[in-house]
Structures are given as C-alpha cells and as structure tokens.
Structure 1
C-alpha cells in the first residue's frame, strides 16, 4: 500500500499545481467541445475518492453531501465555482490524503461492498478501491491537461 499511497500523493500534488498556474476564471472555463472544466475535474476526483473509499466501506468520510452531490459521476458544471469553494477544493486535495491513510492504518475499513465501477473495475476490497482511485485520478488529470490548452 505504500506505493499506492505514494502515487496518490503525487497525483494530488499535480492537481494542486493547477491552482497556482491558472486563474479562477481559467479553472471555471468550459472550452468548446468539452462538457466540463478543470475545477469540476478537481471536485470530481475528490467526490469519487469519497465514493470509492468511504461509501464503498459504508463509512461517513470527510466531505459534505452537498459537495459529493455536486461533483459525483453523472454531474457537470452548472455555474462558476466561487473563490471560497475553490479554496475548499484546494484544501480537500491534500487534507483528505492523511485522514484517509490514517483511517486505513487504524483499520476502520473492515468491510467493503463488492461492486463493478462505471469504468469497469471490479472492486472486492479497500485495496482495490485505492488502486481504482489512482487510475481514475490519472484519467481526469489527462482530461485537465487537454482542457488547459484551450483556456
């Protein structure tokens, strides 16, 4: 799991860099031909991590239902994200890592609900969920790299 967590930390640092390299207007811009923007992708990976790790283990987790519902699979941006919400997403990118790793180390993920994800991963354990989460974050990082060329 050490390698999985190291990969996750690296991924989140790459996401965090977008806040330094792009303005809030750029993060909110939906380029022609795209269904979402960079900030939605950031919110989405936070919501998906929550779903894969915490909801998959029947645990509450650390994000609000409002944030989860706004960025879960099947959603898209309906309005620009405020600076306050962008700051919250930026904070969650890094704060979620240590909280989740501590929860893993403390053994709170006792059971996991077996399922197949929308991208085809069959998850039977919390370890599978972490691996799927890293893959999912890589996909969305790629989407953001495409979007950034048009903002």
Structure 2
C-alpha cells in the first residue's frame, strides 16, 4: 500500500502529465492568443503554474526555490503577456520545465514534506500542504487553458 506521500507525488505527476497532454499540440502562435474575455494566454498560464508551485514552497520554507528570478515579472500574480520580453520562455521551454518539475520537487523536498514551518497567510505550514494547494491551483489553470483552446476552434 502506498503511503500518502507517494500518493501525493503520483497525483502531482499524473495531473502534470494530463495538462502537458492538453497542450501537446498547441503551437507557439496559438499559445499567444488572448480571446475576448480573457486576460492571459496559454503560455502565460503554463508559466504561472510552474512559478506558483515554487513560490508557495518558498513562502513556507523561506528558502530560495529553483525558479529563475525573472519568472515573477513574466508569470507572477497580476502580470500578463504584455510583460513578456524576448527572453520569456517559449511554449516548448515551458513544457520541458513543467515536465521536470515534479521530479525536481520530489528530489529536493520529498523527505521534508511534513517538516513544520511558520504558517503562511493561508495557514499552510508544511510542504505537503503547499503541494495539495498547488495541485488544486493547477486544476484551475487547466480549466482556463481548456477554455482558451475552445475559443480557438
């Protein structure tokens, strides 16, 4: 029987594989489209998912996470594709980062999931709690990506 940490990482990897499957055939050009009624595009949503997971881990641990500093300016809360620069990762680059992120998090934090930290403003005080929250958050952005894709048809 799997322990809850193994289940958590299985879910993280499974959900991540699902979202990567959804965007597998999205072109760079399609990833830039912002349909009427939306604030962001598919590329922004993928970068935001990647960034969010590390930001919440960083918020709990108070340790520097493995995300490039510029990601906050491109994909942080309140940003938009208008903030992109020529250095902003492409769809293909983001897909590679997203694919490797679950294994990186497991390697770096897998033995520390229950370590107690000072609570965040949302009351989370373990990395395990952060991962549960970020899986939920990823699902919200998955729905946005699905909606963006529908608008492209």
Q: Tell me the TM-score range normalised by the shorter chain.
A: 0.7 to 0.9
* Cα gap change, 1:39 to 1:16, in 2 (>3 Å): same
TM superposition score normalised by structure 1: 0.85
Q: Does residue 102 of structure 2 align to residue 97 of structure 1?
A: yes
Is the Cα contact below 8 Å between 2:34 and 2:40 reproduced in 1? yes
Q: Which segments of 5 or more consecutive residues in structure 2 lack a partner in the other structure? A: none
TM superposition score normalised by structure 2: 0.84
Is the Cα contact below 8 Å between 2:112 and 2:127 reproduced in 1? no
Matches within 5 A, 1:1-151: 1-78=5-82, 85-86=89-90, 87-107=92-112, 110-117=115-122, 122-151=123-152
For the residues of structure 2 that align with 1:137 and 1:23, how far apart are their CA atoms? Answer: 21
Structure richer in helix, relative to its length: 1
* Cα gap change, 1:116 to 1:20, in 2 (>3 Å): same
Q: Which segments of 5 or more consecutive residues in structure 1 lack a partner in the other structure? A: none
Is the Cα contact below 8 Å between 2:113 and 2:128 reproduced in 1? no
Equivalenced residue count is 147
